[in-house]
Amino acid sequence: MLYGDMSAFISGLGSLESGLAVLPMSPTWCSLAVAWVQRPAALGRLVNWLTDRLLLRDSVLLTLTKGEAHEMRLLGVYREQKGPSSLQLLPTQPNSALGLPRLASTERLLLDPAAWGQFVGGTPHPGQGPGFLDESHTLGEAMRIRRVTIGWDDDGFGAQPFTTWCPFSVEGSDCVTHRLLNLHVHSKNLAPFMTCGAVPEGTVEQRIDLLQTAQAFFEDEYDHDEW
């Protein structure tokens, strides 16, 4: 689900050395939830590389990906083999190498590789409802240790998600807030996340309920003394 003008966002990032950028999920995984293709050749190179890898036998592919034979790990392998400048990473956290674009407002912007959408809406899998964190993801771990939280700036139509980042356990003025330009709603229960246009009835209440459920689950699940 998109919550802003992607073209303006991309303009704010400037030129890409690689011609192609995707979302980082962890040090070894990337997501295609949002991709920025600046040059046709870069996309062609990646698709050709993926096609070649898919021709491999399962056992070879498992070895290549160290047991994680899926496209997220393969994108990580592509970066490892070709170098980080071959496939750049769009900003999902404040320390992004590409910097953080702004829209008309002064707020800086981030993208969701799946972590926030999974946290607020859960996933389709049993036992992974609102409040779910995948701790193998960088953002999931940052959330678990309470360096970052998510919220909505408005409970009505036009609402937009935001994240607040705090350096380690410091609260207050040292924390910084960024708008999220998308939510990767893994559960595919999308209606509550609709914020403009023909908004289905009751979505505002559903959205508030989901966020509160996620936060309550998080409070119960994670030990406050850990950080």
Partner 1 sequence: MYSLRQAHCTNPQSQIVLVAEEKAWQEFLLAVASDDGDEAAMESWVHFVPLDTLRTASSKHRMLNSLSPFRKRSNRLWHTAVERLAVSLALFDLGVIHYEVGAYVQCGITAALG
Contacting positions for partner 1 (CB under 8 A): 1-7, 10, 31-33, 35, 37-40, 43-44, 46-48, 50-51, 54-55, 58, 68-72, 185, 188-191, 193-198, 200
Closest contact distance (angstroms) between CB of 71 and partner 1 is 4
> In terms of CB distance, is 30 or 214 closer to partner 1?
30
Closest contact distance (angstroms) between CB of 226 and partner 1 is 28
User: How far apart, in whole angstroms, are the C-alpha atoms of residue 11 and residue 36?
Assistant: 11
Closest contact distance (angstroms) between CB of 119 and partner 1 is 18
> Crossing angle for the helix pair 71-82 and 40-54, nearest 10 degrees?
110
> In terms of CB distance, is 46 or 142 closer to partner 1?
46
Contact partners, residue 84, CB within 8 Å, separation at least 6:
none
> In terms of CB distance, is 28 or 189 closer to partner 1?
189
Closest contact distance (angstroms) between CB of 166 and partner 1 is 28
> In terms of CB distance, is 37 or 100 closer to partner 1?
37
Closest contact distance (angstroms) between CB of 136 and partner 1 is 11
> In terms of CB distance, is 35 or 175 closer to partner 1?
35
